[in-house]
Structure 1
C-alpha cells in the first residue's frame, strides 16, 4: 500500500521516476544489416533538450508511457521541455500507484469502479482530503491520465470494444471576459472523472493580477525604500524600476543596454521604452506595450551601466561588453532572468554541438526572489518588525495603486473615474479592463488613502538613492 507522506515519491513505495535526457535525438534506420550493432542510423528530425523519460520501479523504461511522450512529441509544433516534464511527472505518479496496487491499467472492467483509472482518482481525492496534495495537483494528474487513455484508444493499443473506455467525455461551460470586460460562455471538453477544485473565495485585501497581489500603502513603500538604501546598486535599481514603472521582474531583468542608448525624455519627463514582441525585452506572453520610465531612473541606469561594478559583471558574461548584454547581471555574470532570445540562442548552440552532455541552464528570477526573502525582508523588519512577507510582484500592484490615486486626483473636469482606469490599463498592459477595475474597487473597499498631498513619486523620492535631482539633472 502507499505510504501517505507529503514529499512526492515517498507517498508511494514504488521507485518509478522521471529521468531527463539532456539532448534527445530521434534516429531512423539508414542501412539494415543482419547484426543490429552493425546497422547504420541517421538523425531524424530535430534534437530536443531536457526530454523526460519515465522509468519503472524495476529500473527499465516504461514502454507505453514513453511511447505516449514520443507520440506527443511528434504532434508538437513548438517543443517546450517544461510542458513535457510536467506531463511526465504527472504520469509517473500514476505509474507508482499502479505498481503499489499491482493493477493492470490496460484491463477494462464492466464495473467502472474496478478500473485502474477510477481507483487512481479515488486515491487522488483521498490524498487531497488528507492535505498531501492540492486539489489543483489532483485535477492535473487525473487529466493527464485521461489524455493518456485517449491516446491508447486512438492508437488502438487497448481493447475497449467490450466494455468501452473507462470515462465519458463531457462538455462544460465557463464564463470568460473579453478585453472590454464583457462576459460570455465558452464550451470546453472535459470528462466525468474530473476532480472538482473549489472556487477560492476572493480576498478583499488583494488584487487578482497575475496572482494575488497586495499593494503597499505609501508608508509601507517608504519602509521598503529605506531598507533598500543598504542594498547593492543592482537591487536598488531593479526595485525602483518595478515601483516606478510597474514592470514585471521578467521585463526588468531582460532589459538590454542597447535599449537605453539614444533615448530622450518626452515633454512629461519620461523615457518611452517599447517592450514585448520584437524588442528583445520580454513581457508576459510577449505582449507589446510601452513603458514610461522616469528620466531620473533612466539616467541612473545609464550611470550604473558605466560603473566599475557593472563592467566587472559583464566581463564574466558570455555577451561581454556588447550592447546586447543585459543591464543587470549577477556577480557571476549570469542573467537574473534568461530572455526568450537567449534561450533560443542556447538551444540552437547545444543542438549544433556534437556533445550530448551539455545541459540547458535557464534563470527565472530566483536570485531576486531569494534576495528579497533572505536579505531585504529582515532589513525591513529592523525598521518595522510587523512588516508582512511580500512578493516582488507586489511592487507592480503598488505602482498601479499609486498611479490610479494620482490620476484620480488630477482628473480633468467632466471626466469620470473610467478615464483614470483606462490610463492605468494602458500603462500596466492589462489585456482586460476588468483587471484594472480591481484597483478601483480595491481603493473603494479599503478606503485607500494617501496621507500626502503631492504626486506619489516626489513624495517617495527622498528615500531613493538617485544621482539625479527631481529636475532631471545630475546632482
Structure 2
C-alpha cells in the first residue's frame, strides 16, 4: 500500500569544487520540517504530488498544516489507485472509465455506507481536483485530457452587516457537494452534548484516558478553544496569564500571533480560563510526568504544555487516535453518546452554555459581542448561530414538555373511557 511519510527537507544547491560537483545546503531557502511525501507500495515516490507538497510548504501564504491535510487526502487517493490498479493519468474518451469519475463514485459509496463523513468526502475530492489543476498547469498531464467540465455557479450570501451579496465560483462535474443536513447545526456542523453527558465523559476520561487527553477535553469544554489552540498551549503562557479584572475567578491567557499559540484566522485575543481549570493546568505543568517529557523534548517543544509520550508536540491525528480508543471503551460501559462524539463538540457545548448564560443577564447585542470575543469568531454571523440554536432548543424543550403533558392527559382520558 502507498505510504505517507514526513521528512525534514533541507534545500541543496550544486557547487563545483576541484572539477567535481558537490551538493551543499542552501541556507537561503527555508527548511521544512515534517514535509509530507507520498510513496507507492514499490517504494517509489509520487514525484508530481510530492513536488506540489513542497511548493505549498515553501509558500509563506500557505500553512504547513494545510499542506499536510491535503497530502493526507492524496495518500488515500494513492491507496485507492493501487487497490483498483489504475493509473492516475487515465482519461479515456469513455467518461465512466475516467479515473476521477471512478474515484468520485467510490467516495460517494463510502459516504453512503457511513464509512466517510460527508465533509470528509467533499474535502477529499476537492484536494484531488486541486492536485490535477496543479499537474495540468505544470504539464505533468495533458491540459486537453478530458478530466472534467468546469462550470460557473453563482452563490448568494449575507455579509456580516446583513446585506445580500453574490459571488461566482468555478466548480466541476466531478466535485462532491457537502449538502447541509436537516436540523440546526453550529460551527463545522456539530451539535453540543448535554451537561450530564459532559460530566460522564470527563469522569470516564479521568480513569480511562491519558492525563493529557483528559485535560484537553476539559480545556475544550470550559474554554471553547479549538484543538489547534489547545495543542499549542505553552507553559510560559500559563505563567503570563492575568486575572480578569471584570470576572472573578477567571484568568485571561493571550493567544494568537506573537504568543506561540495558534488560532484560526490568526486572531489575537485572550482565552478565558476558569480558576479551577487554571490550577489544574499549572499543577500538570509542574508535575513529574510533564517535566520528564520536557527534559527529553527538543527546541521549542520544551515550552509546550502537552507533549506525547515520545516527547514531541501533539498532532491532531494523535488526538484522534486516542479519541477512537476512548469512544470504544466508553460504549462498552454504556456511554452510547460517544458513538458519534467528536472532539470539536467540546467547543459547540461551551458556546451553547456561554450564550445561554449571557442571554440571562444581558441584551442580545451585548451577548453576541461578548461571546464573539470569547470564542474568537471572525464574523458575528457565526456567534448569532449559537443564539438561534439556544433559543430554538429552549422552544423545543418547552414544546416537548407540553406535548408530554397533553399525551399523558389523553392517555388517562382513554383509560377512563375504557373503564366506563
Higher relative contact order (CA 8 A, sep 6+): 1
1:317 equivalenced with 2:297 (yes/no): yes
For structure 2, the 5+ residue unaligned runs are: 399-420
Task: Please give the secondary structure, in 2, of the residue aligned with 1:277.
Answer: coil
Q: Equivalent residues in 2 for 1:165-314 (5 A)? A: 170-180=151-161, 182-190=163-171, 193-204=172-183, 207-209=185-187, 211-230=188-207, 233-261=211-239, 263-265=241-243, 266-269=245-248, 270-314=250-294
User: In 1, Cα distance between the equivalents of 2:255 and 2:128?
Assistant: 36
Distance 1:131 1:376, change over 3 A: closer
* Cα deviation digits, residues 425-475 of structure 1 (max 9, x gap): 221111122222222222233337999xxxxxxxxxxxxxxxxxxxxxxxx
1:408 equivalenced with 2:367 (yes/no): no
Query: Higher mean Cα deviation, 164-173 or 242-251?
Result: 164-173
**Where does residue 432 of structure 1 map in the other structure?**
379
1:366 equivalenced with 2:346 (yes/no): no
User: In 2, Cα distance between the equivalents of 1:207 and 1:159?
Assistant: 40
User: In 1, Cα distance between the equivalents of 2:50 and 2:306?
Assistant: 43
User: In 2, Cα distance between the equivalents of 1:332 and 1:68?
Assistant: 29
**Where does residue 391 of structure 1 map in the other structure?**
342
* Cα deviation digits, residues 11-64 of structure 1 (max 9, x gap): xxxxx888876536353464797xxxx445555662555364776x9987778x
User: In 2, Cα distance between the equivalents of 1:216 and 1:68?
Assistant: 43
User: In 1, Cα distance between the equivalents of 2:175 and 2:215?
Assistant: 44
Total equivalences in the alignment: 380
- CA apart distance, 1:196: 4.0
- CA apart distance, 1:73: 6.7
Task: Please give the secondary structure, in 2, of the residue aligned with 1:207.
Answer: coil
Distance 1:251 1:433, change over 3 A: same
1:122 equivalenced with 2:109 (yes/no): no
* 2:100–2:147 contact (8 Å) kept in structure 1: no
Distance 1:31 1:74, change over 3 A: farther
Task: Please give the secondary structure, in 1, of the residue aligned with 2:176.
Answer: coil
User: In 2, Cα distance between the equivalents of 1:22 and 1:312?
Assistant: 26
Q: Equivalent residues in 2 for 1:92-103 (5 A)? A: 100=86
* Cα deviation digits, residues 55-103 of structure 1 (max 9, x gap): 6x9987778x479749957994557452673686588589869984798
- CA apart distance, 1:259: 1.1
TM-score (norm 1): 0.64
**Aligned-pair Cα RMSD in Å:** 4.5
Distance 1:97 1:443, change over 3 A: same
- CA apart distance, 1:131: 3.9
1:329 equivalenced with 2:307 (yes/no): yes
Q: Equivalent residues in 2 for 1:24-39 (5 A)? A: 25-28=11-14, 30=16, 38-39=20-21
- CA apart distance, 1:381: 6.1
* 2:154–2:168 contact (8 Å) kept in structure 1: yes
User: In 2, Cα distance between the equivalents of 1:228 and 1:94?
Assistant: 36
**Where does residue 416 of structure 2 map in the other structure?**
none
- CA apart distance, 1:181: 5.4
User: In 1, Cα distance between the equivalents of 2:292 and 2:54?
Assistant: 47
* 1:181–1:432 contact (8 Å) kept in structure 2: no
For structure 1, the 5+ residue unaligned runs are: 1-8, 10-15, 106-112, 338-362, 452-475
TM-score (norm 2): 0.71
User: In 2, Cα distance between the equivalents of 1:24 and 1:262?
Assistant: 35
Distance 1:387 1:104, change over 3 A: closer
**Where does residue 144 of structure 1 map in the other structure?**
131
Bigger helix fraction: 2
* 2:235–2:305 contact (8 Å) kept in structure 1: yes
